[in-house]
Structure 1
Amino acid sequence: MPRKSVLIVDDDPLICQSLQVLLSREQDLYVSGTANNGQEAIDCCKKLPPDLILMDIRMPGMDGIQATREIKQQWPHIQIMMLTTFQDEQNIRSALQAGAAGYMLKSTKVSGMAEQLRALGSGSTVLDSEVIKHLVPPTNSELDQLTPRERDIVERIAQGCSNREIAGQLFISEGTVRNTLSTILEKLQLRDRTQLAIYYWKRR
């Protein structure tokens, strides 16, 4: 499996340096560069687009959310993980709406961070369990067209549960979960469970 390149974006040089050293120990990941703000991140992408970005939110000049929005417009294949100390709901929703596919706290252990980056690189949505606690589930949206059982499954997918875990929690078979998920994706015109999870948390 080819190694994934990671761009680290943070206005604290010590954090950039520390993450660069720690992630360089991972055999399947390597740090292709660092940036101190959103504009520098965009400039790095113009030179050599990375596979993954660890993006701080609050930085001088262009912040991480604005940079995420612009990067996803120009390079939609780049997967962006917000790395921050902020857990408030507005920041989380703004990051997801900008196109981030992950939201991780700086307090995460490096081993866990590498694992989350791998999940991000494989197309999964990654939301730290502590972050999810600060999100209020959506109320009025297109989700209203779903049946109660379908909403139960969507909520658990948004929490990161596997089909097996959902089946166990709802006392149904994995086949039923798969079939119901297919129906949900068709109703909401989404491609996969990753899109579904992001869609869920973007709702207001």
Structure 2
Amino acid sequence: MKLLIVDDDLLVCQSLQLLLGNEDDLIVMDTAINGQEAIEKCQKEQPDVILMDIQMPIMDGIESTKRIKKQWPHIHIMMLTTFQDEKNIRLALKAGAEGYLLKSASIENMAQQIRALKAGTVILDADVLKRITEPDKMLLEGLTERETDIVELIAQGLSNKEIAEQLFLSVGTIRNMLSVILDKLEIRDRTQLAIYYWQRKNE
């Protein structure tokens, strides 16, 4: 099975070329550093599977995927990236990618997924799948996801100790984060914070 690796990080390209090349049935035929170069490589020697990064100069992976799938629909494309945001996931799949894996995946897992992709299976990392199947979580303006979690638990009436146990953090950490949250939102105390949360929740 012939692979093309597309990533603007040369170290990533070299590492994947070396490690995946150790698999008996996988041949890394070439690498490319942007989406435009990927198209040119496909014209010269069509790969079976492309591992495509998303954010690259000149042409990103999503646009490249769209053009490659239009011209060579039989080429399988696996997005390989550090990004898990829902927008990129949906755009990649809409462009024609059949798989979406995180670069943190092990080489063994990656090789297995490449084989499955070639066999016709749509591949989505478990964390990625969770992102696009779960409803969007409400984030309070100016707060991180973890800070919003704390506000939500406060609004449910939990004490600092109970919140600490649920989030696997120390009581001191929760106390410090609560202080930061109150400062960010310019709110006096946890009671006002709970009121603020439910007002936003019901908007």
* TM class, shorter-length: 0.5 to 0.7
Q: What amino acid is aligned across from residue 86 of structure 1 in structure 2? A: F
Give the corresponding residue for 2:53.
56
Structure 2 CA distance, aligned partners of 1:15 and 1:137? Answer: 31
4+ aligned runs moved over 4 Å, structure 1: none
Give the Å deviation of 1:137.
6.0
Matched, 1:33 2:35: no
SS in 2 for 1:33: strand
Structure 1 CA distance, aligned partners of 2:9 and 2:92? Answer: 20
Listed one character per residue, the Cα deviations across residues 104-127 of structure 1 (whole Å, up to 9, x for unaligned) are 000000000000000001011000
Identity of aligned residues (%): 62
Q: Point out which structure has higher relative CO (alpha carbons under 8 A, 6+ apart).
A: 1
Give the Å deviation of 1:133.
1.2
Give the corresponding residue for 2:68.
71
Give the corresponding residue for 2:124.
127
Q: TM-score, normalised by structure 2?
A: 0.65
Structure 2 CA distance, aligned partners of 1:24 and 1:107? Answer: 18
Give the Å deviation of 1:136.
3.4
- Trace 1:39-188 onto structure 2 (pairs within 5 A): 39-136=36-133
Q: TM-score, normalised by structure 1?
A: 0.65
Radius of gyration: which is bigger? 2
- Trace 1:193-204 onto structure 2 (pairs within 5 A): none
For structure 2, which runs of at least 5 residues remain unmatched after alignment?
Answer: 136-203
For structure 1, which runs of at least 5 residues remain unmatched after alignment?
Answer: 139-204
**What is the aligned-residue RMSD (CA, Å)?**
1.0
Structure 2 CA distance, aligned partners of 1:12 and 1:29? Answer: 21
Give the Å deviation of 1:66.
0.1
Listed one character per residue, the Cα deviations across residues 140-177 of structure 1 (whole Å, up to 9, x for unaligned) are xxxxxxxxxxxxxxxxxxxxxxxxxxxxxxxxxxxxxx
